[in-house]
A and B are shown apart, each in its own frame.
Chain A
């Protein structure tokens, strides 16, 4: 911390350094740490009417977490519904993340290694422009696209591929497509950054030594881009598992996303402590999963930030 500060002073002068340190600390503390701590505090309390808050009944409890695991029933019960939703959400998020990786890797590779100058800038622009449209609008657009009378069904039936409209919404196809699309840029850019810094000669050297294109990627490009892949996957996974708008709009009626559950507790349920506890569970499980996967693939956090 001290070295960091001295380094800043050396580069930017005292006034700018103090401003930077203060601004960043305040930002981190007020906007990130403080609200999260409040949430954590909430999650260990009973849901009391306003009159009783601060009173003798306002004590710390594990009740909200117990509810998540055991439900409202007896103390040996098992809250299969909520735990099931959590696992389904995580599984779906993993699926979306892997799907994004598969479609983004070639794009990032082409962008980083095959296109230059104006062509590359145009490609980047084409990738960014759709994100000028608000997320909810995009979700509704997907709903229209995948609806019973949407473009896809009309085209498919027009070409005679199927005769009755396919219910893409109920099948969750629309949801997966929407989620996969929502965070594509967060996958492409870390991949692009990682691959871009790879010396082109390494690719040619591998080719020259007899590697097929598949081997060039498997043995040279992907190992090199591993930190970028890890960082992209982490971001997409975290944001997908925490997404709310897309599941609300594109999710099938019988299919809840875990964030919708959290939202319900906060909103219609009016139970903030339980909502906080559920949010905490989601956060901790996601972080644990990410750390576990990183360990399995031998990526360290230090590598990711590069």
Chain B
């Protein structure tokens, strides 16, 4: 069984401090949904509202259409996986996994059988009698998932469960989590500050900042068509230029970023609010959207000087300076992108790759 979760105008206030500011969204049954945002943005508070550890100050949390107000965390069809996993160190692996069954009065034999089944699911068969401390980080991770799945919850809530793992394992666990979600078909609600995790695993993502949901969409929408300056600067790398809108014919804008000829930037239906001539704006161009000009007459062309290069093997991350402003540029290392460090270099970008948005708060790097 999967159930949908809806947040209806949810506010959470701690005294003067507003942790969640009018969150309004629907998460479909069986969806892998992520809340992405910097620490302190209110994403964990929202998760605690869904799991029942926190009551919203205003608004409603509904699970499967039912208002959850007054329903304790032990009575909700949710299972939460904690950031530090919170496995019980004094219990064996099997007893950890069977804990939710134990508190429901399931007899010992059935409990053990279910624990063994779940150990199969997480690819740790026959390890039930080990102690928690005998497992590696990734194995503990899987045990925490198995424990959460033991009572067949409708919704699995995950609070940055991969943040304690090293990079390799984290990448491996992403694939594994996604596979488990597909296999059990539950609604997964995932909290993370790591955009890579959110982009690779999620069906949809809500980007949060300072208690507000800035944008909801799938990974591609969030990355390619951010609607606020915060989302554009928080998700992925981005170059920001202060600019002024010169004209807007509905299809494309002319913006002046002080780098010579004005740039042409296309409007996108999924993009942010429309800008009018005379408006100040932030112009975002991703490092991979910038390219070395092959053609003297290319559109959106400007002149830069080489500053420094960081070599990553497959990619080259280069910093170029345009009229006093450092811009990041990422090039594939395919041998065709030589840069002369001692002469001006022309760069350009395609009109559909530039994003002009109302100036707003930028994510701090």
Q: Is A224 among interface residues, defined by CB-CB distance under 8 A? A: yes
Q: What B residues does A211 contact at CB under 8 A?
A: 74, 99, 103
Asked if B103 and A204 sit within 8 Å, CB to CB, the answer is: no
Looking across the interface, which residue of chain B has its beta carbon closest to that of A226? B90
- CB < 8 Å: which of B53, B72, B90, B151 contacts A209? B151
Q: Is B80 among interface residues, defined by CB-CB distance under 8 A? A: yes
Per the 8 Å Cβ criterion, residues 189-248 of A in contact with B are: 199, 201-202, 204-212, 215, 219-220, 223-224
Asked if A201 and B84 sit within 8 Å, CB to CB, the answer is: yes
Q: In the docked arrangement, what's the CA distance between A210 and B100, Å? A: 6
Q: In the docked arrangement, what's the CA distance between A9 and B258, Å? A: 67
Q: In the docked arrangement, what's the CA distance between A28 and B99, Å? A: 47
Asked if A210 and B104 sit within 8 Å, CB to CB, the answer is: yes
- Which of A201, A206, A207, A210 is the most central at the interface, judged by chain B CB atoms within 10 Å of its CB? A210
Q: What B residues does A202 contact at CB under 8 A?
A: 86, 88
Q: What B residues does A219 contact at CB under 8 A?
A: 99, 102-103
Q: What B residues does A207 contact at CB under 8 A?
A: 53, 72-74
- CB < 8 Å: which of A201, A212, A223 contacts B86? A201
Q: Is B264 among interface residues, defined by CB-CB distance under 8 A? A: no
Cβ of A302 to closest chain B Cβ, rounded Å: 15
Asked if B82 and A204 sit within 8 Å, CB to CB, the answer is: yes
Looking across the interface, which residue of chain B has its beta carbon closest to that of A203? B86
Q: Is B79 among interface residues, defined by CB-CB distance under 8 A? A: yes
Q: Is B78 among interface residues, defined by CB-CB distance under 8 A? A: yes
- Which of A201, A205, A207 is the most central at the interface, judged by chain B CB atoms within 10 Å of its CB? A205
Q: What B residues does A209 contact at CB under 8 A?
A: 74, 79, 99-100, 103, 147-148, 150-151
Cβ of A204 to closest chain B Cβ, rounded Å: 6
Task: Determine chain A's interface SS by DSSP, over half rule.
Answer: helix
Per the 8 Å Cβ criterion, residues 74-111 of B in contact with A are: 74-75, 78-80, 82-84, 86, 88, 90, 99-100, 102-104
Cβ of B160 to closest chain A Cβ, rounded Å: 12
Q: What A residues does B78 contact at CB under 8 A?
A: 208
Given contacts A209-B79, A210-B74, A211-B74, contact A199 B84 (CB under 8 A): yes
Looking across the interface, which residue of chain B has its beta carbon closest to that of A212? B74
Q: In the docked arrangement, what's the CA distance between A43 and B325, Å? A: 92
Q: What A residues does B73 contact at CB under 8 A?
A: 204, 207-208
- CB < 8 Å: which of A212, A223, A224 contacts B103? A212
Q: In the docked arrangement, what's the CA distance between A220 and B100, Å? A: 12
Q: In the docked arrangement, what's the CA distance between A223 and B89, Å? A: 10
Looking across the interface, which residue of chain B has its beta carbon closest to that of A202? B86
Q: What B residues does A208 contact at CB under 8 A?
A: 51-53, 73-74, 78-80
Asked if A201 and B82 sit within 8 Å, CB to CB, the answer is: yes
Cβ of B111 to closest chain A Cβ, rounded Å: 13
- Which of B99, B102, B103 is the most central at the interface, judged by chain A CB atoms within 10 Å of its CB? B103
Looking across the interface, which residue of chain A has its beta carbon closest to that of B48? A204
- Which of B73, B83, B84 is the most central at the interface, judged by chain A CB atoms within 10 Å of its CB? B73
Cβ of B55 to closest chain A Cβ, rounded Å: 14
Asked if A223 and B82 sit within 8 Å, CB to CB, the answer is: no
Asked if A199 and B86 sit within 8 Å, CB to CB, the answer is: yes
Asked if A204 and B53 sit within 8 Å, CB to CB, the answer is: yes
Per-position contact with A for B301-337: 1 when CB-CB < 8 Å, else 0?
A: 0000000000000000000000000000000000000
Q: In the docked arrangement, what's the CA distance between A201 and B85, Å? A: 8
Q: In the docked arrangement, what's the CA distance between A215 and B90, Å? A: 15
Q: In the docked arrangement, what's the CA distance between A150 and B83, Å? A: 56
Asked if B151 and A205 sit within 8 Å, CB to CB, the answer is: no
Q: What B residues does A212 contact at CB under 8 A?
A: 74, 103
Cβ of B102 to closest chain A Cβ, rounded Å: 7
Looking across the interface, which residue of chain B has its beta carbon closest to that of A224? B90
- Which of A204, A209, A212 is the most central at the interface, judged by chain B CB atoms within 10 Å of its CB? A209
Q: In the docked arrangement, what's the CA distance between A212 and B74, Å? A: 7
Per-position contact with B for A272-300: 1 when CB-CB < 8 Å, else 0?
A: 00000000000000000000000000000
Q: What B residues does A201 contact at CB under 8 A?
A: 82-84, 86
Asked if A206 and B80 sit within 8 Å, CB to CB, the answer is: no
Q: What A residues does B151 contact at CB under 8 A?
A: 209-210
Cβ of A116 to closest chain B Cβ, rounded Å: 14
Asked if A206 and B99 sit within 8 Å, CB to CB, the answer is: yes
Looking across the interface, which residue of chain B has its beta carbon closest to that of A218? B103
Nearest 4 pairs between A and B by C-beta?
A201-B86, A205-B86, A209-B100, A211-B103
7 contacts between A and B (CB under 8 A): A204-B53, A204-B82, A205-B80, A208-B79, A209-B74, A211-B103, A212-B74
